Amino acid sequence: MQHKIKKYLFDIKTSIESIYDYLGDKRDFCQYQNDKKLRRAVERELEIIGEAANRILQIDKDFPLENARKIVDLRNWVIHGYDKVDDVIIWGIISNHLPILKKQIEELKMKSLNEITIGIANDHAGVEMKFFLMEQLKNKVKNIINFGANINESVDYPDFAHPLSIAVEKGECDFGIAICGTGNGITMTVNKHQGIRAALCWEPEIAKLAREHNNANIVGIPARFISNEKALEIVKTFLTTDFAGGRHTLRIKKMNIF
């Protein structure tokens, strides 16, 4: 998948999430209809979604984004037919179509993982979780390199963390997964390497922000505190979220000043 297309998919997904944030958990139609600022904010995000879809089609007219042309038409309707926007139709799009679109983008991002190599390191506390993740990811990524312990006998996590970090720094692995009991020790160790930005994550939202805001390249996971299924959700989110750039770029450069 081309980098620009990935960027536009990221923009669409971000705008969908922004709409959900604006509306809150209740998503009350009457509140929406009576709040002009809220309506305008939602309409602006729909414009972004439509424009991003339009740019994707300009790059690849056959790109498999379902109803892409209708999304572009929606953008044109909101912009050029601003005086004829129907709140009921907009609400139907928010309720029925955006969740499907978001899920489709996540699936497209997962398909793009077949282009990447990931490394995984763990100590004795992360053996079971490591093999679970490898099994779940083996048909989704290009390659998985196992740097971790393979038996449950007590070992020292730095012995496995350093080889993973070196591989990510050298570009032999695009991303890394680091697992120990709490996730703390192995994450601290990989972060000793200048080219590593590792984030300890116990929720998918933290993994998402670690990629978007911090351009993290290794995800640390606390094997004794979350389930295998939660770990897989975290890893999928981490691998399919792009760095947002912008104001975050300078902040990341400042990390290595000292």
| pLDDT tens track, the chain, 258 positions | 677 888 888 888 889 989 998 998 878 899 998 999 998 999 899 889 988 988 998 998 888 877 777 777 777 777 666 666 788 888 888 888 888 888 888 888 777 788 889 999 999 999 999 999 999 999 989 999 999 999 999 999 999 999 999 999 999 999 999 999 999 999 999 999 999 999 999 999 999 999 999 999 999 999 999 999 999 999 999 998 888 877 888 888 888 766
- For residue 147, which of 186, 113, 194 has the smallest C-alpha distance? 186
What single-letter DSSP state applies at residue 202?
A: S
- For residue 211, which of 184, 179, 235 has the smallest C-alpha distance? 235
163: helix, strand or coil: helix
One-letter amino acid for residue 27 of the chain: R
Dihedral (Cα; 160, 205, 215, 256), 10-degree rounding = -70
What single-letter DSSP state applies at residue 226?
A: S
Catalytic status, residue 162 = no
Distance of CA 136 to the CA centre of its chain: 17
Which position has the token pair 């996730």? 183
Contact in structure between 252 and 197 (CB atoms under 8 Å): yes
Say what the pLDDT of residue 243 is.
Answer: 86
- DSSP E strands in the chain: the ranges are 117-122, 143-146, 175-180, 198-200, 218-222
By CB atoms closer than 10 A (0-12, 13-18, 19+), residue 123 is buried
Which position has the token pair 């972060």? 191
In angstroms, the CA 250 to CA 258 distance is 15
Say what the pLDDT of residue 99 is.
Answer: 87
Rounded (10°) angle between helices 228-240 and 204-214: 20
- For residue 88, which of 44, 29, 40 has the smallest C-alpha distance? 29
Say what the pLDDT of residue 145 is.
Answer: 97
Q: Which of 180, 193, 201, 248 is catalytic?
A: 180
Say what the pLDDT of residue 176 is.
Answer: 97
Say what the pLDDT of residue 151 is.
Answer: 93
Rounded (10°) angle between helices 247-254 and 204-214: 90
Q: Which of 97, 162, 193, 213 is catalytic?
A: 213
Say what the pLDDT of residue 88 is.
Answer: 86
- pTM for the model stands at 0.72
Phi, psi of 66 (to 5 degrees): -60, 135
- For residue 46, which of 77, 67, 86 has the smallest C-alpha distance? 77
Catalytic status, residue 201 = no
- Which sign does the torsion angle of CA 199, 203, 205, 207 carry? positive
Q: Which tokens hold the place of 135?
A: 């099994």
Distance of CA 69 to the CA centre of its chain: 25
Say what the pLDDT of residue 81 is.
Answer: 64
